[in-house]
Structure 1
Amino acid sequence: MISFNYETDLQLDNEEDLSQWISSTITEEGFSEGEINYIFCDDAYLLDLNIEFLDHDTLTDIISFDYTLGKLINGDIYISVERVRENAADFEVTFDNELSRVMIHGILHYCGYKDKTEDEEAIMRSKENYYIGQLA
């Protein structure tokens, strides 16, 4: 089950479409959907989590807590709406496009994709682009 939670003024108007998209991504990657929580928040909220749990005193657009068991995807994905807005402007894409990218990025991490090296990042970007194309 995918749930959307809001700690900011953002309210998605297409939760059902996004849930189906995320579910189909999980299935296509060979996993099963467990409990996935998206929490949309602001920079301050996410910075507090980053400091408390990851010992990083930096702003970020996403923090995901992975509780996946085998092939059953479970986790909490925290997204800073402020970071997504700023990144969308920096990358010259729409807010919705960047938000979709960040949302699926967390799921791809749960499916085992990494982005620490250039090669890993290239694979991650390719997967993100592919699945964003599925949403359109």
Structure 2
Amino acid sequence: MTVNIDYEADKKLDFDYEKIIREVINGALDFEECPYETEVNVVLTTNDEIAMINRDYRDLFKPTDVLSFPMIDYVRPGDFSVLEEGLTEDFFNPESGELILGDIILSVDKIIEQAASYGHSQQRELGFLVAHSMLHLFGYDHMQDEEREVMEEKQRDILNMLNLKR
């Protein structure tokens, strides 16, 4: 598993954020039984930067806590068999052979703000946002109530498995 992490924010998280990111990504991969070695790119940035990305990709000029950019168009969320059904070389890194799941962009400002607002640790907030984003990289969404409930249960299960509780 390759996890590329770029820290572009001025504010610093005063804990081993890389360890948490890697553990949650690995936990989500195990939970969803991903059959491939994978690559995920993670950027930790500011509210201003994530607002610009949000504007460019979603037409919403406001900061958000996390943005997910999946590489794979799943027929069913978490169903990796779609990779066996056709031309999939675009989804794999030609040098490593790893499945490129996509990109996760996190706002350090929001991690700090939301941890305080929800009354839990910044570690738990970071873990939650990475788990949430990984589920998006697996094709899950939360636009409808039924989808949201499935996603929330999976997030909770992943975080509990990693002992990242509120």
TM-score (norm 2): 0.72
More helix by share: 1
**3-state SS in 2 of match to 1:60:** coil
**3-state SS in 1 of match to 2:161:** helix
Moved more, 114-123 or 37-46: 114-123
More strand by share: 1
Aligned residues: 136
**3-state SS in 1 of match to 2:67:** strand
Runs of 5+ in structure 2 lacking a partner? 75-79, 81-98
**3-state SS in 2 of match to 1:93:** coil
Let me know the Cα RMSD of the aligned residues.
Answer: 2.1
Moved more, 8-17 or 74-83: 8-17
Instruction: Tell me the amino acid that sits aligned with residue 123 of structure 1.
Output: V
Superposition deviation, residue 54 in structure 1: 1.8
Counterpart in the other structure of 1:10: 12
Counterpart in the other structure of 2:62: 58
Structure number with the bigger relative contact order (C-alpha 8 A, sep ≥ 6) is 2
Segments ≥4 residues shifted beyond 4 Å:
none
Superposition deviation, residue 97 in structure 1: 0.7
Of structures 1 and 2, the larger Rg is shown by 2
TM-score (norm 1): 0.86
Superposition deviation, residue 10 in structure 1: 3.1
Runs of 5+ in structure 1 lacking a partner? none
Superposition deviation, residue 16 in structure 1: 4.3
